[in-house]
Structure 1
Amino acid sequence: MKTKAVRLYGKKDLRLEEFELPEIQNDEILVDIITDSVCMSTYKAACLGEDHKRVPSDISSHPIIVGHEMAGTILQVGQKWQGKFKAGEKYALQPALNYKGSMDSPGYSYRYCGGTATHAILPHEVMEVGCLLKYSGESFYEASLAEPMSCIIGAFHANFHTKMGSYEHLMGIVEGGKLALIAAAGPMGLGAIDYALHCDRRPGFIVVTDVNESRLARAEQIFAEKAKKSGIELHFVNTANVEDPVSYLRKLSGDTGFDDVFAFAPVKAVVEQADQILGRDGCLNFFAGPTDTKFSAECNFYNVHYASTHTIGTTGGNTDDMIESLRLTEEGKINPAVMVTHIGGIDHAAEAVLTLPDKPAGKKLIYTGINLPLVAIEDFAELGKTNPLFAKLNEITKKTNGLWNVEAEKYLLANAK
């Protein structure tokens, strides 16, 4: 079977190509890919090329398919897995395989397995470690976004707290506590707000900061009413408009500081601000992954010693986190569409990856079976004046407060080129 895929040949060398896939082996599975959402980790892999820790050294002659936030349907099942999977089933993929200590991962390491493709072959290790997950939801984009949501869920689970006089670590954010999401009006921050409002360890007080007024306004539009219904006090703060952000945020917390703080940008000032607003036994999660191997920031070690503050970092989620993400989505408790701001086709996927930091927005959602420029949902109305496809998509997304939705996906797949 032929596939069309975006392949990495070297540093920032992404190419959209069509080529023949080999016949699957008895322990492999052939899949159709419908959606793949673009991750900052893919941009980092594209920039580093063969120097990336997950990317093979011979990609110039044996390129890999990029993209790992993928979803679609199963087309053909090798004999080994025929008792567990069937053709026609929907799936989501957990790319963090951790197979026998290997760092190999779909979207980074395989010639025939990556999300930015029309079809792919899943190697046996994906199934061996339980990373091919069945999905019963209506849409494909929600299954793709289960992977980034699982990263958020994993981060919330990884935070920990202590009891004075005890060495026991109590895992998870503080239930009913004070939560600060710093530099969090981007896609992962929005996902974190959604999860915080609907998870089983909900805080009682949330502050979300950013320096981009329009992104904060969009976040408030999406979540303000939901927070009221959840009984959670939610504040949005543009720290660029505050003379002393640390004092302001601490005062907002009631001068106690915050139990849990998540830093969503690898910026020295952001991390230091996050450290300075921790309360007693506060946990700082450095969520954003830097590309600078020497990235550092100052930390108040007096508070580490006397106030039991602590810092952790998380990257990715595990399979249990992914399953939780899918379950909450299928039950309608979280809506991963809050992360999506752009849609596009496979013909613009390479551009979407390479320009990711230059065009800050939410998640860019790629539909691999269509050709379509990368388009912002907020631009549907204007484009719809001359293009009936976008006129209809604007009509559909207006029903859900400007968010991508199941009806929009079905219409796009039925009518796009």
Structure 2
Amino acid sequence: MKTKAVRLYGKDDLRLEEFELPEIKDDEILVKVISNSICMSTYKAVKQGSKHKRVPEDVAINPTITGHEFAGEIIKVGHKWKEKYTVGNRFALQPALNYKGSPYSPGYSYKYFGGNATYIIIPNEAMELGCLMNYNGEGFFEASLAEPMSCIIGGFHSNYHTKSGVYQHEMGIAKGGNMAILGGAGPMGLGAIDYVIHCERKPKFLIVTDIDEKRLQRAQNVLTVEEAKKNGVELKYVNTKNIEKPEEYLLSLVDNKGYDDVYVYAPIKILAEQGDKILGKDGCLNFFAGPTDKDFSAKVNYYNIHYSATRIIGSTGGNTDDLIESLEMTSKGLINPAVMVTHIGGLNSVSETILNLPNISGGKKLIYTNIDMELTAIEDFEEKGKTDEFFSNLAEITKRHNGLWSLEAEKYLLENK
């Protein structure tokens, strides 16, 4: 059958094309993709082309389908998997395959396996590893966003703390501790705030910094100080742009005792160094933001590493358990991944969106792959609605949901676009 997909041919070379999919093998599954959210990691792969560790060297002659945060419906099941997967069922996917040590994964490495497409073929390894999951939820966008949320959750599970004289790490953030999320008003930062104020292992104090006042205001509106307090977390948002010595100010908020857990959500040298400076004893800094510069570096205080047992780690991606946790918390209404989304578009808008991703303000860009629609900010629905009834109705729906994307909005879009 034919599919449409945005394929990578090399550095900065993306093409929306229609082509024929081969017949699936006995150990493969054919699916229809409904939604895919665009990740900054895809932009990094496009900027590096075949030099990216997940992109094959022969991508110029064997292009790969982009996108790895996707969900949809199962169309056809190979004989091997008929007992586990059923035609018509919905699915969610954990793209971090790590199959037999290979770095290859959907969205970077496969000819027929990626999210920015109408139909794709899921290979045997995804099922062998349990990465293709039956999904019983209603919202496709929630299943798509479970992937970035799983990365966030994995970051909180990756931090660790120690006890003097005991050679054993206690995994996870410090329960009841002080936490800072630096550069935290972007899409992944919002997901992190939502998770940490609603998960079981919470800090007592959470500071979120950014230098973009508009992003901070949106964060405060969708993840309020009152909501955090209701869940036992003292939350404070701070714009550090005009603070002369931000690390001193941040330390003053915790009586200069330092922070148990610090997350750096933007790959900026000054932010990484700031995070190191505010660590308390046994503090753990997670450099969550992935830089594109392989020579990226920042100063570290080795005196504190030696005498105060501070540490720096990095985490990227999540595992299947993290994705399951995200789906379960979403289904229970504990978290709302829609806080990350600020733009909606169709498959025709993907190439331009990826190539210009750092220059497009806001949060996550959510794509519905079987429709054509210009990438549009949710906040612009009302203005477009003055001349387009479709956007007028979408604006009314999002208003009812505190300006956020929702199941109601998704259903309306899929039925009317």
Secondary structure of the equivalent of 1:395?
helix
Q: Is 1:343 aligned to 2:344, yes or no? A: yes
CA deviation after TM superposition for structure 1 residue 229, in Å: 1.6
Contact preservation (8 Å) 1:43, 1:356? yes
- Which deviates more, 299-308 or 224-233? 224-233
Contact preservation (8 Å) 1:113, 1:121? yes
Structure 1, gaps ≥5 residues long? none
**What one-letter code is carried by the residue in structure 1 that aligns with 2:295?**
K
Q: Equivalent residues in 2 for 1:322-341 (5 A)?
A: 322-341=323-342
Q: Is 1:297 aligned to 2:298, yes or no? A: yes
Aligned to 2:372: 371
1:330, 1:77 → 2: CA distance?
Answer: 26
Q: TM-score, normalised by structure 1?
A: 0.99
1:323, 1:191 → 2: CA distance?
Answer: 16
CA deviation after TM superposition for structure 1 residue 254, in Å: 2.1
What's the CA shift string for 1:326-369, capped at 9, x where partnerless?
Answer: 11111111100000000000000111111111113200000001
Q: Equivalent residues in 2 for 1:114-153 (5 A)?
A: 114-153=114-153
CA deviation after TM superposition for structure 1 residue 231, in Å: 2.2
1:398, 1:292 → 2: CA distance?
Answer: 40
Secondary structure of the equivalent of 1:314?
coil
Structure 2, gaps ≥5 residues long? none
1:415, 1:60 → 2: CA distance?
Answer: 37
**What one-letter code is carried by the residue in structure 2 that aligns with 1:388?**
E
Secondary structure of the equivalent of 2:248?
helix
Aligned to 2:37: 37
1:355, 1:316 → 2: CA distance?
Answer: 23
Aligned to 1:414: 415
CA deviation after TM superposition for structure 1 residue 36, in Å: 0.3
Contact preservation (8 Å) 1:34, 1:140? yes
1:132, 1:271 → 2: CA distance?
Answer: 35
Contact preservation (8 Å) 1:72, 1:140? yes
Q: Equivalent residues in 2 for 1:3-402 (5 A)?
A: 3-224=3-224, 225-402=226-403
2:402, 2:345 → 1: CA distance?
Answer: 20
What's the CA shift string for 1:360-411, capped at 9, x where partnerless?
Answer: 3200000001000000001111111111111111100111110000000000
What's the CA shift string for 1:9-46, capped at 9, x where partnerless?
Answer: 11010000011100000000000000000000100111
What's the CA shift string for 1:295-334, capped at 9, x where partnerless?
Answer: 0000111100011100100010011111111111111111
2:378, 2:257 → 1: CA distance?
Answer: 40
CA deviation after TM superposition for structure 1 residue 226, in Å: 1.5
**What one-letter code is carried by the residue in structure 2 that aligns with 1:135?**
Y
- Which deviates more, 223-232 or 347-356? 223-232
Give 4+ residue runs of structure 1 displaced > 4 Å after superposition. Answer: none
Aligned Cα root-mean-square deviation (Å)? 0.7
**What one-letter code is carried by the residue in structure 1 that aligns with 2:20?**
E
Secondary structure of the equivalent of 1:236?
strand
2:73, 2:208 → 1: CA distance?
Answer: 37
1:176, 1:133 → 2: CA distance?
Answer: 34
1:404, 1:178 → 2: CA distance?
Answer: 31
**What one-letter code is carried by the residue in structure 2 that aligns with 1:363?**
K
2:391, 2:193 → 1: CA distance?
Answer: 29
**What one-letter code is carried by the residue in structure 2 that aligns with 1:298?**
K
Contact preservation (8 Å) 1:136, 1:330? no
CA deviation after TM superposition for structure 1 residue 241, in Å: 2.1
1:226, 1:88 → 2: CA distance?
Answer: 38
1:253, 1:359 → 2: CA distance?
Answer: 35
**What one-letter code is carried by the residue in structure 2 that aligns with 1:281?**
D
2:291, 2:241 → 1: CA distance?
Answer: 22
1:411, 1:380 → 2: CA distance?
Answer: 14
What's the CA shift string for 1:131-166, capped at 9, x where partnerless?
Answer: 001111110000000000000000000000001111
2:255, 2:141 → 1: CA distance?
Answer: 40
2:176, 2:383 → 1: CA distance?
Answer: 43
CA deviation after TM superposition for structure 1 residue 253, in Å: 1.6
**What one-letter code is carried by the residue in structure 1 that aligns with 2:374?**
P
How many residue pairs were aligned? 416
Q: TM-score, normalised by structure 2?
A: 0.99
Percent of counterpart pairs with the same letter?
63
CA deviation after TM superposition for structure 1 residue 108, in Å: 0.6
